[in-house]
Amino acid sequence: MKLNKQIISDLRKEYGDAFYLLDSKQFRSNYTELKNAFSSIYSNFNIAYSYKTNYTPRLCKIVNELGGYAEVVSEMEAALAMRIGVKENRIIWNGPIKNKEKLESFLLAGGTVNIDSIDEGKYIYELSKKHEDVTFNVGVRCNYDVQDGVISRFGFDVESKEFQDVLDLIRERDNLYLINLQCHFAKRQLEYWPEKAKGMLDLIDRLNIVPQRIDLGGGLFGKMENSLKEQFTSNIPNYQDYANAVATLFAERFSDKDNQPELIIEPGSALVGDCMKFVGTVKTIKNIRGKSFATVLGSQKNISMTGVNPPIEIINMSNEQDEYKDLDFVGFTCIESDVIYRNFNGKLAINDAIVISNCGSYSLVMKPPFILPNFAVLDISEGKTEVIKRAENFEDVFHTFEL
């Protein structure tokens, strides 16, 4: 939907002066394009969507409908997946801390748990003795050097005694099934992806184990406007670039198509980043010691982008605008660092709409109930407006407190 003055005016009348616009049709298209890029090279491929990036149920349902996995990192996210109809055997539970009671019931129902620490491994080992008639699907999170300059805190150092210990625990129990080996490294640059793949392939050769699934985790750039791309020092790869970097290695290693493990990746931002916009309203414009500021109903917390200027569009809602230079758009919060966009040059007026693109990643899920409740989420992808999440209110924020 191309936004204009009339559309913004109509939406404001119904939903207020700030809201998110979701494009679930674009999300579906991104998923299909990414899946096809990898599958065209290595056929036994699938996507485990990172719920933590944006757990809007509409999006999670699309993933399930298209045959993807739910990648969750908490009992809350696991409960969401099950509530919207995802079968437990299509849920992969990562994360450094897992509620023990929920973990037990999840394993009993057939879910996959990727073990992140030796203590967790020992706990699952004891559970397997408690439930000898049930097979538990477990994975191990693997940590090795991918030359990204970061010592990741997730999983097991594959050269450590603890890594060998957790494998021994799994081997010792007939009802512990090692279904998955997983890794996750956060840097998104393309150069680290072959290192991830080679590290995992070297590991399975060393262990003489080929599990049912090999999971390379997340860490992919998604689609973005040129104004955002230009602010990165590295090249922004596309889906096919990532597929060429790793799927080719798997296709070469497992040329026998009858004996291919399932290759999985866990994208979040790469699928949802360009599927959401935030629309705020300019409430005040002032000049302080030669510096211009426009205060917006909206916040940096609503877009979850720091260190860059997000893609921005100004929709004039009146017939009058003034010219500004080096103006900063700032949020409604009383935090000095709440700057949405720095050094804007152009025309602006009070009541103009400011439209921020590429804010589908982490924005909605990381917005705290700080100073104001969060705003509505509207799906506009099919040419009509559908409320996906209503605006929050006072009761939503304070009903868990004793007043």
**pLDDT tens, residue by residue, 141-180:** 999 999 999 999 999 999 999 999 999 999 999 999 999 9
Distance of CA 384 to the CA centre of its chain: 26
d(C-alpha 21, C-alpha 14), whole Å: 14
Exposed (0-12), middle (13-18) or buried (19+): which is 66, by Cβ within 10 Å? Answer: middle
Average pLDDT, stretch 318-323?
92
Whole-model pTM over 0.85: yes
Rg (CA), the chain: 23
- With tokens 């090692």, the residue in question is 178
C-alpha distances in angstroms, 22 versus 59, 164, 276, 339, 371? Answer: 10, 45, 5, 23, 24
Read off the pLDDT of residues 99-137 as tens digits, 9 standing for 90 and up: 999 999 999 999 999 999 999 999 999 999 999 999 999
Question: How many other C-beta atoms can be found within 10 angstroms of the C-beta atom of residue 124?
Answer: 23
Question: How many other C-beta atoms can be found within 10 angstroms of the C-beta atom of residue 70?
Answer: 26
- With tokens 């939406």, the residue in question is 11
Name the DSSP class of 68. Answer: P
Q: How confident is the model at residue 403 (pLDDT cuts 50, 70, 90)?
A: very high
Read off the pLDDT of residues 66-108 as tens digits, 9 standing for 90 and up: 999 999 999 999 999 999 999 999 999 999 999 999 999 999 9
b/e per residue 356-389 (b: at least 16 CB within 10 A): bbbbbbbbbeebeeeebebbbbbbbbeeebeeeb
For each of the domains in the chain, give its residue range(s) and CATH number, in order of start.
5-21+274-398 (2.40.37.10), 25-269 (3.20.20.10)
Name the DSSP class of 126. Answer: H
Question: How many other C-beta atoms can be found within 10 angstroms of the C-beta atom of residue 329?
Answer: 27
Residue 264 corresponds to which tokens in the numbers above? Answer: 């999985």
Check whether 257 has a pLDDT greater than 80: no
Distance of CA 80 to the CA centre of its chain: 15
Residue 158 corresponds to which tokens in the numbers above? Answer: 């594959």
Instruction: Give residue 384's pLDDT.
Output: 87
* 389 DSSP β-pair partners: 377
Name the DSSP class of 310. Answer: P
C-alpha distances in angstroms, 132 versus 98, 109, 135, 152? Answer: 22, 14, 8, 34
Instruction: Give residue 401's pLDDT.
Output: 97
Q: What percent of the chain has pLDDT over 90?
A: 95
